[in-house]
Amino acid sequence: MVSEIKKIGVFTSGGDSPGMNAAIRSVVRTCAFLKVDCVGIYRGYEGMIEGDFKPMDARSVNNIINKGGTILKSARCEPFRTEEGRKKAYEQLRAEGIDAFVVIGGDGSFTGAMIFNQEFDFPVIGIPGTIDNDIFGTTFTLGFDTALNTVVEAIDKIRDTASSHNRLFFVEVMGRDVGHIALNAGVGAGAEEILIPEENLGLDRLLESLKRSKESGKSSSIVIVAEGDKTGKNVFELKEYVEEHLPIYDVRVSVLGHMQRGGPPSCYDRVLASRMGVKAVESLLEGKTSLMVGVQDNRLILTPINKAIKGHTKIDKELIRVSEIMTT
């Protein structure tokens, strides 16, 4: 069934991630290819309420596939949580002649889109863009692969100075309340210990492991700590705890922070974004709505957006076992 959609909006929402620009580019270029108008919506739901729109054609997205961040900006928007705010947004979209939109963001952004669809019967499709990789219905979210490479590169640099000074480093990484970045980057960077919220193995085990590392002849160590870790101590408190209970270590801390959200997207993220943008536009034109585009076994799939929001991504137990073996 070919729908009556003639003009599609596209926007980015929530925490930005590398690959969002590649996804914007793909949505715009697919609209151009299929002869559908496309409008960029700036600053997510905030710009939607304000009518901050800009028509976009194939040329509008030149030279952005390799750029981190999002040319459409992003924001978190409290007013959109109200019926009044959503009604204002709907009026703005209709005034602009926009018949459907593609939202590139995380579960919070998808929640807004789902409610908007329910209230106004307005077609919406989601593309998962967040470095956390915590969205049900896709093996990878846009930005996760790039963030992993950013973190591994940073840890490689920290390891240089850790080994020069025989130091133990606690490195905090993002992930809000999941340990996917910590676990994958920890294995990739050869961290001696990885602390993630999904597996709180306690401080005694950490001390034991660090003691074993020292006794086995390791002169320096790297411990990756997910920001949502559940030991009950932040990285600075972990440093103090180890200094107090294991004074053999000279301890330092490095919090990677928002650098994990930036940088040129990896090839994988660029290709995934390009694939997802095409699928999102084609799905809208086929009359589909309230779905999220995802990738599973390297095939694109569609998941009901209410499942994507409520579902949880499981930590990879096999990878946890690999990480334990690698610290031998």
Q: 144-164 and 267-285 are packed helices; what angle lies between their axes, rounded to 10 degrees?
A: 160
Q: Is residue 43 annotated as involved in ligand binding? A: no
Q: Please write down the long-range contacts of 307-312, taking CB distance under 8 Å and 24 or more positions apart.
A: 307/136, 307/137, 308/107, 308/110, 308/126, 308/128, 308/135, 308/136, 308/137, 308/138, 309/107, 309/110, 309/111, 309/114, 309/136, 310/136, 311/135, 311/136, 311/137, 312/134, 312/136
38 annotated ligand binder: no
Please say which residue, 154 or 251, places its beta carbon nearer to ligand F6P. 154
Cα–Cα distance between 249 and 13 in angstroms, integer?
43
> What does the binding site for ligand F6P look like in residue numbers (CB under 6 A)?
15, 106, 130-132, 174-176, 227, 261
Residue 133 or 221: the one with the smaller Cβ distance to ligand F6P is 133
CB closer to ligand F6P out of 47 and 123: 47
Q: Which amino acid is present at 317?
A: K
8 Å CB contact between 210 and 247: no
CB of 208 to ligand F6P, least distance (A): 29
Is 15 known as a binding-site position? yes
Identity of the residue, 15 or 68, whose beta carbon is nearer to ligand F6P in the bound complex = 15
> Is-catalytic flag, 160?
no
- For residue 108, the minimal CB distance to ligand F6P (Å) is 9
Q: Does the CA dihedral 45-47-52-53 come out positive or negative?
A: negative
216 is in an annotated binding site: no
Smallest gap from residue 23 Cβ to ligand F6P (A): 16
Nearer to ligand F6P, 192 or 227 (CB): 227
Of the residues 16, 37, 99, 132, only one is catalytic, namely 132
Cα(137)–Cα(304) distance, integer angstroms:
9
Tokens of 199: 């597996």
Tokens representing residue 257 in the block: 């922070």
Q: How far is the CB of 5 from ligand F6P (least distance, A)?
A: 30
Rounded distance, CA 10 to CA 228, Å? Answer: 31
C-alpha dist (Å) from residue 14 to 45, 101, 132, 219? 10, 16, 12, 41
For residue 299, say whether it is annotated as part of any ligand binding site. no
Is 9 assigned to a binding site? no
Q: What is the nearest approach in angstroms of ligand F6P to the Cβ of residue 106?
A: 6
Annotated binding residues for ADP, written as ranges, equal: 25-29, 159, 190-192, 218-220
**Residues carrying an active site annotation:** 132
Annotated binding residues for substrate, written as ranges, equal: 130-132, 167, 174-176, 227, 252, 258-261
Annotated binding residues, written as ranges, equal: 15, 25-29, 76-77, 106-109, 130-132, 159, 167, 174-176, 190-192, 218-220, 227, 252, 258-261
